[in-house]
Amino acid sequence: MASKMVFAVLAGASMLLAWTSAEERGKDVFARRCSGCHALNVNRQGPRLSGVYGRKAGGVPDFNYSEGLKKAGMRWDSADLNAWLTDPEAMVPDTDMAFRLPIEEERNAVIEYLRSLGKE
């Protein structure tokens, strides 16, 4: 009986994920995993992220970025955000961000959420 209930719960969770858009999943992951340091419209420990998709790395004028990120010379697109969220230090040595999103599905969802917010 218990195994049938566990199966039903797992099947229900899988169906819920299937019905949820990537943006909605990304918003949820952002709230759970990113919002400790980042907000959308105000700088916190990390820079504000509204409009980050397409923005020049190190491009929020009133945020104090690491020298490495200021000199990176890239614009945030899906590939760069994926590499960044996988391992920021490998992408930009001496960066101030140590947090990683090791689960590919979470990275993809957060990237889609940030992309859906539009560009600055």
12 part of a folded domain? no
Which regions of 24-119 does DSSP assign to beta strands (E)?
none
97 part of a folded domain? yes
Q: How confident is the model at residue 2 (pLDDT cuts 50, 70, 90)?
A: low
The predicted structure's pLDDT at residue 110: 97
Per the structure, the count of domains in the chain is 1
Token pair 């566990």 in the structure block, residue: 6
108 part of a folded domain? yes
Residues 6+ apart with CB under 8 A from 25: 17, 105, 109, 112, 113
pLDDT in tens, 15-55: 445 557 888 999 999 999 999 999 999 999 999 999 999 99
**What residues does 75 pair with on adjacent strands?**
56
3 part of a folded domain? no
The predicted structure's pLDDT at residue 15: 47
Domain with 81, as residue range(s), is: 22-116
pLDDT in tens, 88-101: 999 999 899 999 99
How far is it, in rounded angstroms, from Cα 103 to Cα 85?
10
Q: What is the CATH number of the domain that holds 48?
A: 1.10.760.10
